Structure 1
Amino acid sequence: MRPSNGIIAFAGFAVRRLALLVTLLALVFAAMNLLPGDAARAALGRDAGPEQLAAKRHELGLDRALPVRFWEWISGVATGDFGATANGRSVNELLATAAPATLLLGGIAFALTVLISLSAGMYWAAKPSGLLARILQPATTVVVALPEFVLAALLIAIFALATGWLPAVTVVDSSGYPASADMLVLPVLALALPQIGWNARVIRGALADSARAPHVEHARLAGLDPARIMLRHILPTALPTIAASFATTIGMLLGGALVVETLFNYPGLGALLAGSVSQRDTTVAAAVTAVTAIVIMAVLLVSDAVRAWSVRGTGAGTDRVRSRRRNGQRIEDFA
């Protein structure tokens, strides 16, 4: 039995993404190797002598060629082993400790982004000349234009330094998570606000494009309720674009976590990556990159599946509408 076109397309997608991931990790290894200093110097300190440094470099394998080191590491990753740090700690354990904190921060920011941007985008598309729409137009432009570190600094200046309402840094308890819920507010806002602004504009544009479709105009002429038109006719058509935008948001949240976690002293993957760069620990930096890239690839795969399902479902619905119109049925029967 010959494989279907869908299976072949999925296999091609997986191979391309896997090749891209390996290339990205190789670049991480090369970039870390170009930085001044190395893991041996960072581990032993400035007072270490040449013999100590040579012994430590041999222990860490830094005296071997870069392609050999990368091949040994990537071979271990294929079996689920991300190696060890320069201090001998398991990278797998570090990832298991840091990843839940980042997932908590990113998950809250993503949920907030979906809820607010979807509501704002739908209202903006339904009432493009309303008061809220006039506020959203400049507000979303500003938050999208501001980098995460600038927005985070503004939030700290206003809500931590000027008013004292929220803490500026994160203090962890014995579990490794923030000691109080209010410590999550500013990091979440710093991550979510730019994505809320971006997705609100994307959703508004996608819904406005879908609203110009002929079947939507027919539904309006039939006198259907505007809310039903939005939910049953406009939103499903715009769903592929919205799904792709939210999938991209997850990648942006993971990338922004590096800056935000560092600024707020938040104990997650971003802080782990920043520490690995300062310690010149290539295995940790590459491991964090690998985990982040795998998550993004999985999300993009789900997004593509949603888009394919939405397009197929929309096409089927259009065929039914056209068939019933030819049979002389009223719009209310299928709207």
Structure 2
Amino acid sequence: MAGPLTTDTAGTAAPVAKSALARHPALPALTRTGAVLLKRAALLALLLALVFCTVELLPGDAAGATSERGESAADIEQRRRLLGLDRPVLERFWDWMSGLPAGDLGTSARGEPVTGLLSTAFPNTLLLGGLALLLTAVLSTALGCWAALRPGGRVDRAVSGTATAVLALPEFVVAVALVLVLSLWTGWLPAVTLTDLDGNPDSWTMLVLPALALTLPQTGWNVRIVRAALADEARAPHVETAVLDGLPPHRVLTHHVLPGALPTIAAGLATSTGMLLGGAVVVETIFNYPGIGSVLASAVTDRDSPVIAGVTALAGAVITAVLLLADLVRDLMAGGRR
């Protein structure tokens, strides 16, 4: 009796499967995305365990750091038991991890739910980081395309040189320079952020300086990526054909070079997400911005492992989502071009 596939059927099954994948290029991209997601989730779990262990190595603990003046050693020891600090660190980490699937980030050393503590601060950071990412995407793409119109020309050299110089500047140096020029000297923009009753920035003008402080260094980084991606794509055969056909340089750039360079540009911008969230901690502190920067600084002072791990988990989830989206877009565009 013949099996599920006869000889003829078996011979044609592989071509049929290949043609199905050719008609649906998203399928292998989604499969690779799932595998990458599992790897990054495992790396994030390892990072969170490292956070708990690192806080454990700091001098003191949450019970002592959050104690009130005049409390006795017995009171501090009782708080230590209430916080579970008398248990092994890996056991506390496992208890904290078990609440993540339900969205429970644990309780801070001061008795506040970590989810509630971050419910206002983290959206403010996402707003600031999203605005900086949007500005970075627009500025870096525009400058990279401008430089690519005349390779090796004065504009190209000026843009590349300026991008390298700006890339070397840390966010806090850019922030201080922006405060001096746009706030103290000209008075155009506020130097610090005031909040409303809900804990959000009181005016959109208070977002400008923090967003610029994050945008400028990342624009320098991404201009170099855009320029390199455009230069690589300009050597493609279809681009050379378009040039030989006599198309204007700007049309060759926008219709033939830029579309092929977009996957690389998207990957560079996705990489900038982690740098923007990391830089936001410093920039928020300088501008008194109500984001995770102040929450994280207080948590480190309090030796508060659940809060530090909660910030790390949320930031890691955002970075992973953006990187996965960039990988999926790149795979889909590459599959479409094939």
Q: TM-score, normalised by structure 2?
A: 0.88
Paired position in structure 1 for 2:57:
34
1:252 deviates by: 1.2
Which amino acid counterpart does residue 299 of structure 1 have in structure 2?
A: V
Paired position in structure 1 for 2:248:
225
Paired position in structure 2 for 1:116:
139
Q: Which segment drifts farther, 26-35 or 148-157? A: 148-157
Which amino acid counterpart does residue 288 of structure 2 have in structure 1?
A: N
| Contact 2:266 2:326 (C-alpha < 8 Å) held by counterparts | yes
Paired position in structure 1 for 2:6:
none
1:133 deviates by: 2.7
Q: 1:275 to 1:134 in 2, by over 3 A?
A: same
Paired position in structure 1 for 2:167:
144
1:7 deviates by: 5.3
Question: Aligned residues: percent identity?
Answer: 52
Q: CA RMSD in A?
A: 1.8
Task: For 1:1-335, list aligned pairs within 5 A.
Answer: 6=29, 8-315=31-338
SS in 2 for 1:146: coil
4+ residue segments displaced more than 6 Å: none
Paired position in structure 2 for 1:327:
none
Q: For this pair of structures, how many residues does the alignment match?
A: 314
1:235 deviates by: 1.2
1:76 deviates by: 0.8
Q: 1:172 to 1:76 in 2, by over 3 A?
A: same
Which amino acid counterpart does residue 122 of structure 2 have in structure 1?
A: A
Q: TM-score, normalised by structure 1?
A: 0.89
1:182 deviates by: 2.0
Which amino acid counterpart does residue 187 of structure 2 have in structure 1?
A: G
SS in 1 for 2:108: coil
| Contact 1:243 1:303 (C-alpha < 8 Å) held by counterparts | yes
SS in 2 for 1:112: helix
Distance in 1 between residues matched to 2:32 and 2:207, nearest whole Å: 41
Paired position in structure 1 for 2:11:
none
Distance in 2 between residues matched to 1:10 and 1:140, nearest whole Å: 32
Which amino acid counterpart does residue 40 of structure 1 have in structure 2?
A: A
| Contact 1:236 1:310 (C-alpha < 8 Å) held by counterparts | no
Q: 1:39 to 1:8 in 2, by over 3 A?
A: same
Q: Which structure 1 residue ranges, 5 or more long, are not aligned? A: 316-335
**CA deviation string 1:116-136 (max 9, x = no partner):** 111111111112344433331
Q: 1:58 to 1:144 in 2, by over 3 A?
A: same
| Contact 1:121 1:204 (C-alpha < 8 Å) held by counterparts | yes
Distance in 1 between residues matched to 2:139 and 2:34, nearest whole Å: 36
Distance in 2 between residues matched to 1:176 and 1:314, nearest whole Å: 47
Q: Which structure 2 residue ranges, 5 or more long, are not aligned? A: 1-16, 22-26
| Contact 1:102 1:257 (C-alpha < 8 Å) held by counterparts | yes
Which amino acid counterpart does residue 285 of structure 1 have in structure 2?
A: I
